[in-house]
Each structure stands twice: as structure tokens, then as C-alpha cells.
Chain A
Amino acid sequence: MSERGPVVCPGDRLGQESNYIAGAGTYGREGFIYASIVGRQEVTSAQGDAEKKLPIVTVTSMKGGGKVVPQIGDVVTGRVTRLRQQAAVVDILCVGERALHTKFQGQIRTQDVRAKEIDKVTIPTSFRPGDLVRAEVLSFGDANFYYLSTAKNELGVVYAESPAGVPMVPISWQDMQCPQTHVRERRKVAKVVQNTQEASK
């Protein structure tokens, strides 16, 4: 249940921190909650199992969602652009289900490809350029790349094409097969969950 309020500007006082929880588009300072973007104020009543039973005040921009930036722990989708000896370079395209407005670069290092038998991992048997991968943001890395990890069952290659240009079918967690030529290729395959509701949680 949410109530829509007036249009507010950055710096406008929305309420007291003792009466509301500061949601998206707002910030708290010295006991009060202020707007941080231009948009429409909305108050949503408290969630059932929340710690504090206070309504949440948010400000929503008229231009649709705000800018999203990869944060540590986010599950991101990206495309592998090239392989280096110790890492695969990935163009991060989406965070969760939201497409990014601009490209961010990340890399998956050999030690972060999978959880077990790390020393046996080689990059060319895990990824190839052009593959779409789902990965988790490990850390902010260095100036050029985020550090990503595919060391979970549900992370890894979600889409890859065989040399024939046909999308391959996953056979196991480390094999994919081309349905046309029946050639098998090694990849670190993501265990795709069938139930879409579960995947988007």
C-alpha cells in the first residue's frame, strides 16, 4: 500500500527519522529525512516482517528507475570479450534484471571460476569469447576491472554458441553440446533454474 505525494527536489525535508525509514531517493541527516533526487514522494506502509514497523518514504524519478551501478554481492550478466592467461574479461551488461545504462568491465580470475579443484581450472575450458555469463560481484577490483566470481552452481555460462553458430545445450556442469554437429565443448556451465520465480528472488 503506498500513498503518492507531491513532487520534491533534492534537499526537501520529507519527515523525521523517528517516523519513517529512508528509502530509495532519500537520505537521513541529523534526525530528518531529505530527498536526494527530483521526483515524486511516496510513502509505503511497513512490511510485515520488518524490524521497525515504520512506513518507508521514497522518492521516485519521473524518468523511470535511477542509475544502477554494480555493487558487491550483485548477480550480474555479462558477455565474455576476451581471454587472458589468468582471467576472462567480461563486459557487464545487466545487474539483476536491470540493464545498465553504460558498460562496466569485469574479470573472472582462475581462482574464482569454481569452488572446488581451483588449481585444475584453465580459462579456455571454462569460457570462450562471445559467451553470456552470470556472475557475482566479488569486489571492486582494480581501476580497470571489477572482480567477478562464478564459483556457485547457478553461476557460469548461460548461453554459448558452437563454432557452427548454433546455441549449445548444457550437458553437465562442465560440458555443452552443439545440437547440430554433436561436438562437445568445455565450459563452466550455470545450473539454470527452471522456475522463473525462484530465479528472480
Chain B
Amino acid sequence: MEYVTPEGLRTDGRRPRELRKLGCQLGTLESADGSATCEMGFTKVLAAVFGPRDTAGKLHPDRAVVRCQVATAPFSAGERRRRGKRGPLATEQAATIRETLAENIHLELLPRTQIDLYFHVLQADGGILSTCLNAGMLALADAGIPLKDLVGSCTVGYLESTPLLDLNYIEESGGGPLLPMAYQPNMDKILMLQMDKGKLPVETFEVLATLATEGCRAVTGQIRQSLMNHTKQLAVARGSV
């Protein structure tokens, strides 16, 4: 299996440092307080935010409590998969998403409340964690929850001695290391960085981390653009341009 041709093209025709097409839609669900759909290439995730609402159980007197759940549609993967919506991987992903997005929320402004984040993976083609984080960021902004900064996420990998940005499913299955990252552009801070499946020499790791940061910056640029466009559309609709 050749992941990068001698001419420098990947399995889907992209260059190694090229992001897939990013699509962001806000307010896709009427019933949620905030919602968004995010597509990175063929990966498509729907995110919904409910809150701030009354707590049902654990409460914190100083800040909001954030809960997160990730579900996967049976038609999302290449092979139709029926069993339970949650496997151990999904639970770990949900915990990572929760911690990352919660860190960006001004929880202390909403004491004794609960914010529920729900994700539904509609199509899976690599980069699910990143797509969930981006969709979650958009949904939280749509809900008007006070945030510290924007958050953008992308995943980088290393195959055939080449750093790759935004891996699809085939590339993720290639056996190389995977580095998902979440980044706050205005504060210039890395919010989340993981490394799965592999070992790397430190210099390569640094190269990958830099590539990931650049990729995240590009993602936040697009997220910001989507938020501005959506807000302007709302303003026009309300007659207050």
C-alpha cells in the first residue's frame, strides 16, 4: 500500500500538508440550545449543546459541570456496524472532548448548572476526534455560552517518512503514529495534544507538532469565517445590518 506517491500525492490526491475540505454549518438542530455540523473531507459530525440547565445529580457550587457523549450512526463506517453506540474508544474520546472543550468555557460564570454536549458521528473517514472538537466549538458558540477563545483541531500523522496533515481512514489505518491537536489561536496555546500508535524521534515529533499547529490555525480561520457569516446572516434576517 503506497500512501505517498513519488510525485508527492496521497491516496485522495492531496499534498502531504493539505487539509481536506472543511464545511461548517450552524444551527442545524432547532431543538438544541446550540448546534452545528462539521465536515472534514468525508467525516461528518453533528454536535448539539443543551445548557446551561438545571443539574441532574452532581453539582458544583462554583462552576458549570460539563457532560459529553459521542454516538456513532450505524451507517457511518464503510461496513455497517450495529452493536452498542459506545465502545471503550468512544468513552475515551468523549472524555477527551469534554476536558478540551470545558477548558475553553468560562465555567465560573455559570455556577450550579450543567452543560450537555452530544455528538453524533454521521460519516467516519478519519479525524473523528478533531471533527467532533470543531463541531463542538461551533455548537457552543451557537449556544452563546461564554468562551475564552476559539478552538480548532486537526490530526497529523507520519507515514513513509512523510509528515501528513488531516489523515483519512485509509491513512489512519496505515499503522503510523497519530497526533490529534486542539489549539486556541488568539491565546496561541495548545489546548490538547495526544499521540497514539507509535514512537517517534523527538525531532520528528517537533516537526509534526509545528505542522499540527499550522493546520489548527487554518481550521480556526475557517471556523471564525463561518461564525462571522452566520452572524451576519442573522443580522440581516433581523433587519439590523
In-complex A–B contact (CB below 8 Å): yes
Chain B residue nearest to A13 (CB atoms) is B186
Q: Do A37 and B146 touch (CB < 8 A)?
A: yes
How far does the Cβ of B174 sit from chain A's closest Cβ, in whole Å? 35
Q: Specify which chain A residues have a CB less than 8 angstroms from the CB of B110 in the assembled complex.
A: 69
- B81-125 interface code vs A (CB 8 A; 1 in, 0 out): 000000000000000000000000010001111000000000000
Is A127 at the interface (CB under 8 A from chain B)?
no
Residue from A27, A38, A39, A101 having most chain B Cβ neighbours under 10 A: A38
Is B28 at the interface (CB under 8 A from chain A)?
no
Residue from A7, A9, A63, A103 having most chain B Cβ neighbours under 10 A: A9
User: Would A9 and B227 be within 8 Å (CB), given that A27-B148, A40-B235, A62-B234 are in contact?
Assistant: yes
A101→B31 CA distance, assembly (Å)? 12
Q: Specify which chain A residues have a CB less than 8 angstroms from the CB of B199 in the assembled complex.
A: none
Q: Do B187 and A11 touch (CB < 8 A)?
A: yes
- B11-33 interface code vs A (CB 8 A; 1 in, 0 out): 00000000000000000000001
In this complex, the interface size class of chain B, counting residues with CB under 8 Å from chain A, is 35 or more
Q: Is the interface of A mostly helix, strand, loop or mixed?
A: loop
The number of chain A residues with a CB under 8 A from chain B is 30
- B123-140 interface code vs A (CB 8 A; 1 in, 0 out): 000000000000000000
Q: Do A7 and B232 touch (CB < 8 A)?
A: yes
Q: Specify which chain B residues have a CB less than 8 angstroms from the CB of A40 in the assembled complex.
A: 231, 235
Count A-B pairs with CB separation below 8 Å: 87
Q: Specify which chain A residues have a CB less than 8 angstroms from the CB of B143 in the assembled complex.
A: 67
How far does the Cβ of A144 sit from chain B's closest Cβ, in whole Å? 8
Q: Do A69 and B52 touch (CB < 8 A)?
A: yes
Q: Specify which chain A residues have a CB less than 8 angstroms from the CB of B33 in the assembled complex.
A: 67, 101
Q: Specify which chain B residues have a CB less than 8 angstroms from the CB of A103 in the assembled complex.
A: 54
A159→B147 CA distance, assembly (Å)? 39
Q: Specify which chain B residues have a CB less than 8 angstroms from the CB of A13 in the assembled complex.
A: 186
User: Would A67 and B52 be within 8 Å (CB), given that A10-B148, A37-B146, A140-B61 are in contact?
Assistant: yes
Residue from A12, A39, A69, A146 having most chain B Cβ neighbours under 10 A: A69
- B224-239 interface code vs A (CB 8 A; 1 in, 0 out): 1001100110110010
Q: Specify which chain B residues have a CB less than 8 angstroms from the CB of A10 in the assembled complex.
A: 141, 146-150
Q: Do A9 and B235 touch (CB < 8 A)?
A: no
Is B184 at the interface (CB under 8 A from chain A)?
yes
Is B45 at the interface (CB under 8 A from chain A)?
no
How far does the Cβ of A132 sit from chain B's closest Cβ, in whole Å? 19
Q: Specify which chain A residues have a CB less than 8 angstroms from the CB of B59 in the assembled complex.
A: 140, 142-143
Q: Specify which chain B residues have a CB less than 8 angstroms from the CB of A146 in the assembled complex.
A: 112
Is A34 at the interface (CB under 8 A from chain B)?
yes
Q: Specify which chain A residues have a CB less than 8 angstroms from the CB of B147 in the assembled complex.
A: 10-11, 36-37
How far does the Cβ of B9 sit from chain A's closest Cβ, in whole Å? 35
The 5 closest A-B CB pairs, nearest first, are A11-B149, A11-B186, A36-B146, A10-B147, A62-B234
Query: What are 5 A-to-B residue pairs whose CB atoms are below 8 Å?
Result: A34-B148, A36-B146, A69-B111, A140-B111, A140-B112
Which residues on A are within 8 Å of B, measured CB to CB?
A: 7, 9-13, 25, 27, 34, 36-40, 61-63, 66-67, 69, 71, 101-105, 140, 142-143, 146
Beyond the given pairs A10-B146, A10-B150, A11-B186, 18 more chain A to chain B contacts, judged by CB atoms under 8 angstroms and listed by A's residue number, are A7-B231, A10-B147, A11-B147, A11-B148, A11-B185, A13-B186, A34-B149, A34-B186, A38-B141, A38-B227, A39-B231, A62-B234, A63-B234, A67-B143, A103-B54, A143-B55, A143-B58, A143-B59
